[in-house]
Amino acid sequence: MSADPTQVLAFETDCHIFDGCGFPAPGLHSFLFEPLWGNADSNLYFNKTMLLALLGSIIVVGFFWAAFSKPKVVPGKLQMVAEAGYDFIRRGVVYETLGKREGEKYVPLVVALFFFVWMMNLWSIIPVAQFPVTAIIAYPAVLALIVYILWVSLTFKRHGFVGAFKNFTGYDKSLGAVLPLSMTIEFFSNLLVRPFTHAVRLFANMFAGHTLLLLFTIASWYLLNGIGIAYAGVSFIMVIVMTAFELFIQALQAYVFVLLTCTFIQGALAEHH
């Protein structure tokens, strides 16, 4: 999966409008990176998103380490900020959906998921990095897979085999003749579509966000010639607006991801689906 060498970003060249070159629109190639190390064909390589993923996890751990490794009853500023974030997820997401008794066990997972996803999203607007790790499907997919495995195993553990099957298919006698159809749809919806959408929702949001940012950034550079300069200004304002918007979307998508996680767990723990 190496990038097409013929396609380069606008700011990697001196190409401007009226210079006789076309607009180097962002596309799938913008999400492919040459390996920093190793060979792309051998499945043994290391690229920018991997670097950002590992760096991001180190930043998240570092932040919480600085805040919580020697916590004080009377908190300092950093601890207070970290506590606010922790409390927001614990109370606002986990306790809200699962309740304090059932939810307590899943707090570390949900908190880790939220801050991990948020950090991966944040890379999108951090200078130099400027790429959301979650715009590579592998990262949301692995997280969604963890949640999926947890959800399925919890359902079996809680309801037994038949119970779990009823849970997955939304078994309801009152549906009568529609039941087989409804069960089939529910089965596919829950077991196959749900984990996919869970991952893709995050991936697509970040993918689209990054594409938009790229589009306006490239356009700002590309239009920087002649009468185009006026449009370049508009485009640059859009870059700033979209960056602010992305900042909001990044947090929102991380929140949605963990909220869905909790909803799935709640479905597994619920008596009747």
123 is a site residue for another protein (CB under 8 A) = no
Residues numbered 43-102 forming contacts with another protein, rule: CB under 8 A:
43-46, 49-50, 53-54, 56-58, 60-61, 64-65, 67-69, 71-73, 79, 82-83, 86
Residues 163 and 172: beta-carbon distance below 8 Å? no
Q: Give the tokens for residue 234.
A: 């508009």
Task: Assess contact for 117 and 261: CB atoms under 8 A.
Answer: no
Number of Cβ within 10 Å of residue 100's Cβ equals 11
Segment contacting another protein by CB under 8 A, of 112-120, 154-162, 163-171, 263-271: 112-120
The smaller minimum CB distance to another protein, of residues 204 and 247, is found at 204
DSSP state of 181: H
User: Residues 46, 38: contact at Cβ < 8 Å?
Assistant: yes
**CB atoms near residue 23 (< 10 Å):** 13
Contact pick of 17, 98, 111, 238 for another protein (by CB under 8 A): 111
Of 5-13, 37-45, 160-168, 258-266, the window that binds another protein (rule: CB under 8 A) is 37-45
The secondary element (H helix, E strand) that includes residue 45 is strand 44-46
User: CA-to-CA distance for 125 and 139, rounded, in angstroms?
Assistant: 18
Residue 8 CB, nearest approach to another protein (Å): 17
Phi/psi at 45 (5° precision): -150, 170
264 contacts another protein (rule: CB under 8 A) = no
Q: Which is nearer to another protein, 68 or 231 (CB)?
A: 68
Chain length of the chain? 273
Of 125, 136, 152, 269, which one interacts with another protein (CB under 8 A)? Answer: 136
Distance of closest approach, residue 46 Cβ to another protein, in angstroms: 8
Coil, helix or strand for 70? coil
User: By C-beta, is 50 or 122 nearer to another protein?
Assistant: 50
Query: Please, which of residues 227-256 interact with another protein by CB under 8 A?
Result: none
Closer to another protein at the Cβ: 207 or 221?
207
If one asks whether residue 183 binds another protein (CB under 8 A), the answer comes out as: no
Q: Is 197 in the site for another protein (CB under 8 A)?
A: no
Contact 7, 24 (CB under 8 A): yes
Q: How many CB atoms lie within 10 A of CB 207?
A: 20
Q: Please answer whether residues 229 and 22 qualify as being in contact, where contact means their C-beta atoms are separated by less than 8 angstroms.
A: no
**Residue ranges in contact with another protein by CB under 8 A:** 1-2, 4, 28, 31-32, 41, 43-46, 49-50, 53-54, 56-58, 60-61, 64-65, 67-69, 71-73, 79, 82-83, 86, 107-109, 111-113, 115-116, 133, 136-139, 141-143, 146, 200, 203, 207
